[in-house]
Amino acid sequence: MPMDRVNQSYASNSWNPGDEVVGLYDFSGRSQDDLPFKKGDLLVIVKGTTDPNWFKARNASGREGMIPANYVQQRKVVTLHAMPWYHGKISRGEAEDLLSPRETGLFLVRDSNNFPKDYTLCVCYESKVEHYHISYADNKLSIDNEEFFNNLEELVKHYTNDADGLCTRLIRPVTKKGDNFGTVSIQDFKSGGWVINKKDLDLGELIGKGDFGDVYKGFYKGLPVAAKQLKDQDRGSQAFLQEAGLMTSLNHVNLVKLIGLVIGDTIILVTEFMGKGSLVEYLRSRGRTVITKKDQIHFATDTCAAMDHLESKGLVHRDLAARNVLVHDDGTAKVSDFGLAKFGDFSLSSQKFPIKWTAPESLRNNVRKSFTNKSDMWSFGILLWEIYSFGRVPYPRIPLADVVMHIERGYRMEAPEGCPAEIYALMKQAWEMNPDNRPTFNEVLSKLNNLRSITV
């Protein structure tokens, strides 16, 4: 790309300090004030300049310098799309079976069987099913290479209003059964600047296993990362992408940061590396001889700050616990594992359901809508108990089957040994039976910040 193109006007850019951009091309720099970078490098905007074509930025190593605006792309938030007509990876025959009875205008969208990155629009017309190839190129979708769309929603909306060359306009969708809370498009990750090149990612040792994927320690362009590799593309890809999509909207020092995704035969979700592992294991392995009261209040405040950020965005975690908080090498605690529809297949009898961390109203209803910021606050109270008991399992003397009954009858755990009275008071407020009586994370954060300032 010739350098004289930086003379184009980029006054429309509204980048702010802290915004993240990704390199579109290699930039070697023309002076000692410039910041060289490679295609795919992640940079953070430090400030603008009097020239709208140039910004001061910082790289992953902390070096700062000038970068040309048209050599980088600001990362865009990937949002969930309400696409009940999208059925993912099903066969041509399965699609035709679903399109019954064959009324004209009945339709669905599936992944293309012959072109892995493309889609197929299946439409009923006069008792037959027509299959239209939706191609993806240059971050756009098209059926006829004449009309182009940014995503599937735009395409379906267009052909719902006008057949525009199809056999018929789209009239009624065949909706996918199950969890239809939203679908994420791989194309949105690509156009949003979140897809990274697999050759820039070196996978190392296995450090964790989960329902959806195994986690490896690795390096992305020399930066230590954690890489979660999807186990089953057919079963878990949307849940994986939903988690990643949510992470694109979150930028907070106490939330685990998304680096990007590798899209190919499988999906790899790459995040910052948290060298000290999960908070619960850190608490158990170090114990009272290593972890100080100052460490404990730091962990509590860091976690609350993350939850305050989620609460401010109207987001609910649903599985807050010390096992889902990670500790950075510098001692910062960061909340992780948000975004997955964790309880889609859970029941109270399932070993996977975190009964001891779940609010009473959520245990009673066991449905997604019963999980709120107030139920997260109940879980935060349990997490505080974990921190101040150095990672003990909650309700240590009560059989799991009896926990719900005891809670409903008003039982609350006693303060862990050595727990400050102010912290135990916060636990009890979090464990109010009526969710409306529980504090907000913002209210608790203010109290924890005050306590942190006087803890030595």
Q: Which residues contact 73 (CB under 8 A, 6 or more apart)?
A: 21, 22, 24, 193
Alpha helices in 71-164 (DSSP H): 92-98, 152-161
Dihedral-angle region of residue 385 (phi above 0 means left; psi in -120 to 50 means alpha; beta otherwise): alpha
Q: Catalytic pick from 111, 319, 337, 376? A: 319
Q: 216-224 long-range contacts, Cβ below 8 Å, gap at least 24? A: 217/273, 218/270, 220/196, 220/259, 220/260, 220/270, 221/38, 221/40, 221/41, 221/60, 222/60, 223/60, 223/259, 224/272, 224/273, 224/275
Cis peptide before 52 (omega within 30 of 0): no
Structure tokens at 80: 């969930």
Task: Report how far residue 196's alpha carbon sits from residue 40's, in angstroms, rounded to the nearest whole number.
Answer: 7
Q: Tell me the residue length of the chain.
A: 456
Residue with tokens 């789209």, as numbered in its chain: 170
The span from the CA of 17 to the CA of 47, in Å, is: 5
Can you state the angle between helices 421-430 and 441-454, rounded to 10 degrees? Answer: 170
DSSP β-bridge partners for residue 255 = 335
Residue 305 burial by Cβ neighbours in a 10 Å radius (0-12, 13-18, 19+): buried
Q: Which residue has the tokens 């004209």?
A: 104
The answer to whether the annotation marks 228 as part of a ligand binding site is yes
10 Å CB burial of residue 226 (0-12, 13-18, 19+) is buried
Q: Quick one: which of 365, 337, 26 has its CA closest to 211?
A: 337
Which residue bears the tokens 């790289």?
Answer: 59
Instruction: Tell me, yes or no, if 319 is annotated catalytic.
Output: yes
The torsion defined by the Cα of 361, 365, 369 and 375, in degrees rounded to 10, comes to: 20
Tokens of 380: 């935060």
> Which residues are catalytic, by number?
319
Q: Which residues are annotated as a binding site for ATP?
A: 228
Q: Which residues are annotated as a binding site?
A: 228
